[in-house]
Structure 1
């Protein structure tokens, strides 16, 4: 059994073929899609976070709204770029969204991907500490956020407060018990996957990772997951970790599907440079008739290793078509592969 969710980048643009032409369109359609996804039996609604772009950027209002309008579906991110975050304020936002959803928040965090602007986090008022890289800063902020989610008091109370304080040092409120176990680290390398395991975070691995061996993408990603699980065992954590992978998967069951995604059937992994100096491998998309799709996906080692699959969706094509895309996977593909 696998949990299956969707992952939306939340694009919008004034394009004649797009259903999401404005930020308002994208936000409201994201809520509607999450509600519809829950109704068809999907397990998760996840959203990417990008700043300075016509994409979803501020996740917590959206996650709280979805939490208030749904009952079962997991809601999360993949991922929040911690370079841009105030970890303490984020603890409060996350706690509130998790309480509204009654414990369904699954937050993916990371250092983030290449940006739309140069050092965009500087515009948010943040800077590097002496000798620190931006990757170091992302991990430092993530660990501060992760530590404060414990709900342990750390702030000295005012002896003359406006309202009476409980005894001892004060923690951030609202506190949501159990949220700390639902934090995921988005990893592009084997080393950061091992680090996430040592810290006790779940693992998110996307359709891109650093090319560390020259092997096909799904094999490198499967090896990354095995290293993560080994490091988790060695760290002695007492709970079972969760691991997600992202894929673009389209079952071609209608003429509209073939029109939109028929050209994806011949796609292969791609290798290129990311951030000017890092060689990365980008995983292929899957698009085929259901019977052929089942055969191809059965060979994907990383999907086999993961307990959660996030399906990247073409959100600009609207709620109705995306429900069709997701329902096609649930009906024609998931049962044949034992995911359901």
Structure 2
């Protein structure tokens, strides 16, 4: 068994924000209530996934704008916004707006690549340019350019008595560009994030670049990222494993949680599909049992921040129990203390 390594400094959780197709408002309201609960429990951050053409949050920034008016302290993250479906200039405007509304609490997490099922809806996304769209890291560089407040227009100044124009994206939120995270699922993406001094998000899914062991593959990514980052060993990395403590769970809940993890376990035994993807096992059990399992995860021993992922298909009562046990029982055993004391 390896050491737990660094004490846990930042505790976060991640949700997809599922909703019923025929009653989407209820699902979105439930996500907002979960965010409020996270703040009450002392979590440092909440992270929203983005899903297009699915029954999960498609507009995380809109939800976080609403959450900014219901909370005071908890940080907001996106994990992640796939930039293949975004215009970096328009996205920069939205990111800065939410950051300002929240008082500087936004942590934009992004990724690049061809959007999922792009061939099925590309004519609706980019009707005139779908064949020419660039889905490379250059899209992140454009976003960073905009967030830093660098010029995007050749015109600035007064045009009429009431209309003034800026040559940079407005509003501008100082410091936001330094809080951009890159969601890495490969050694190459971790290297790129390090070279460009971004923060690094790693999850329960990665690729088998140098090893068929999930733990070894992810540890290599963290080490390579920090070796290339100007902050070195202090460069920020957040890990997003699926962690389900059962300390206060009912017998029925605990049984259902274990069945859920068991149904997903076989995929963790070897690389999956043509991209050789690796999956981490879901961690289910008492806080003491989960601490023991995390001690065996060498990548976890290298991080001080987490965004533990809530399972997609559980109910509101389940999420409340899981978050309460993470904050009240599990995280203190990992060295974490709530932000309010």
Please, what TM-score do these two structures have when normalized by structure 2?
Answer: 0.86
- Aligned-residue Cα RMSD (Å) equals 2.5
Shift of the 209–114 alpha-carbon distance from structure 1 to 2, 3 Å rule, reads farther
Shift of the 54–87 alpha-carbon distance from structure 1 to 2, 3 Å rule, reads same
The equivalent residue for 1:42 is 43
Question: Please, which moves more after superposition, 22-31 or 330-339?
Answer: 330-339
The equivalent residue for 1:213 is 210
Shift of the 251–122 alpha-carbon distance from structure 1 to 2, 3 Å rule, reads same
The equivalent residue for 1:85 is 86
The equivalent residue for 1:319 is 316
Question: Please, which moves more after superposition, 210-219 or 70-79?
Answer: 210-219
Contact 2:181 2:198 (C-alpha < 8 Å) held by counterparts: yes
1:17-56 aligned within 5 A? 22-56=23-57
TM-aligned CA deviation for residue 212 of structure 1: 1.5
The equivalent residue for 2:3 is none
The C-alpha deviation readout for 1:88-133, integer Å capped at 9, x for no partner, is: 1111101100000000001110025862453645422274676xxx
TM-aligned CA deviation for residue 238 of structure 1: 9.4
1:71-220 aligned within 5 A? 71-111=72-112, 115-116=116-117, 118=119, 120-125=121-126, 127=129, 137-157=135-155, 161-162=159-160, 163=162, 165=164, 170-220=167-217
Q: Secondary structure at the match of 1:317?
A: coil
Query: Which of 5, 13, 17 is the equivalent residue of 1:6?
Result: 13
TM-aligned CA deviation for residue 190 of structure 1: 0.6
Shift of the 35–110 alpha-carbon distance from structure 1 to 2, 3 Å rule, reads same
TM-aligned CA deviation for residue 87 of structure 1: 0.7
Contact 1:50 1:56 (C-alpha < 8 Å) held by counterparts: yes
The C-alpha deviation readout for 1:152-179, integer Å capped at 9, x for no partner, is: 233122676133647xx61111111100
Shift of the 159–73 alpha-carbon distance from structure 1 to 2, 3 Å rule, reads closer
Distance 2:76 2:236 in 1: 15
Distance 1:202 1:328 in 2: 28
Shift of the 91–240 alpha-carbon distance from structure 1 to 2, 3 Å rule, reads farther
TM-aligned CA deviation for residue 2 of structure 1: 2.6
Please, what TM-score do these two structures have when normalized by structure 1?
Answer: 0.86
Which consecutive residues of structure 1, in runs of 5 or more, have no partner in the other structure? 15-20
The equivalent residue for 1:279 is 276
TM-aligned CA deviation for residue 337 of structure 1: 2.5
Distance 2:32 2:63 in 1: 7
Question: Please, which moves more after superposition, 316-325 or 78-87?
Answer: 316-325
Distance 1:257 1:219 in 2: 32
The C-alpha deviation readout for 1:11-55, integer Å capped at 9, x for no partner, is: 2347xxxxxx73212211111110110001111111111111111
Shift of the 159–149 alpha-carbon distance from structure 1 to 2, 3 Å rule, reads closer
The equivalent residue for 2:235 is 241
Contact 1:251 1:257 (C-alpha < 8 Å) held by counterparts: no
Contact 1:53 1:116 (C-alpha < 8 Å) held by counterparts: no
Distance 2:316 2:163 in 1: 48
The C-alpha deviation readout for 1:76-96, integer Å capped at 9, x for no partner, is: 110101010011111110110
Shift of the 178–215 alpha-carbon distance from structure 1 to 2, 3 Å rule, reads same
Which consecutive residues of structure 2, in runs of 5 or more, have no partner in the other structure? 1-7
Question: How many residue pairs align between the two structures?
Answer: 323
The equivalent residue for 2:331 is 334
**Structure with more contact order per residue of length (Cα contacts < 8 Å, sep ≥ 6):** 2
Contact 1:12 1:22 (C-alpha < 8 Å) held by counterparts: yes
The equivalent residue for 2:5 is none
Question: Please, which moves more after superposition, 116-125 or 203-212?
Answer: 116-125
Q: Secondary structure at the match of 2:252?
A: helix
> In the alignment, does 2:260 pair up with 1:258?
no
Question: Please, which moves more after superposition, 51-60 or 118-127?
Answer: 118-127
